[in-house]
């Protein structure tokens, strides 16, 4: 899911600009928010209980975090971001 960012802090508020084939919760044009954690392993016991903030394997901070591809996250300072629908 791709989001056009419009916030200048750690958390992000924006509008969905594109969705992947498996995205069911959002459509292009929806307003969305991303909290202080933008990614996780999505497989551990905590992630499976929608408690990604407690992920022990790979919680990724929305701002100044290291994502799984090695890139540094920029939170609301980004022009756009890609994140999972969770």
pLDDT score for 67: 86
The residue range of the domain holding 45 is 2-82
Spatial separation of the C-alpha atoms in residues 60 and 41, rounded to whole Å = 9
When the pLDDT of each residue in the chain is averaged and rounded to a whole number, the result is 85
Q: How many domains does the chain have?
A: 1
Whether the CB-CB separation of 72 and 65 falls below 8 Å is answered with yes
Backbone angles phi, psi at 55, to 5 degrees: -55, 130
pLDDT in tens, 15-39: 999 999 999 999 999 999 998 888 8
pTM of the model: 0.74
Sign of CA dihedral 75, 76, 78, 80: positive
Portion of the chain with pLDDT greater than 90, in percent: 33
> How many other CB atoms are there within 10 angstroms of residue 39's CB atom?
22
pLDDT in tens, 44-77: 999 999 898 889 888 898 888 898 889 999 888 8
- CATH code of the domain containing 22: 3.90.180.10
């Amino acid at each position: 899911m791709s989001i056009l960012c419009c916030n200048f802090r750690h958390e992000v508020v924006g509008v969905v600009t594109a969705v992947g084939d498996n995205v069911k919760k959002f459509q292009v044009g929806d307003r969305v928010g991303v909290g202080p954690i933008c990614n996780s392993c999505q497989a551990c016991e905590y992630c499976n209980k929608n408690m990604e903030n407690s992920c022990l394997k790979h919680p990724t901070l929305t701002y100044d975090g290291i994502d799984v591809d090695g890139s540094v996250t920029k939170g609301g300072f980004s022009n756009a971001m890609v994140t999972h629908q969770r």
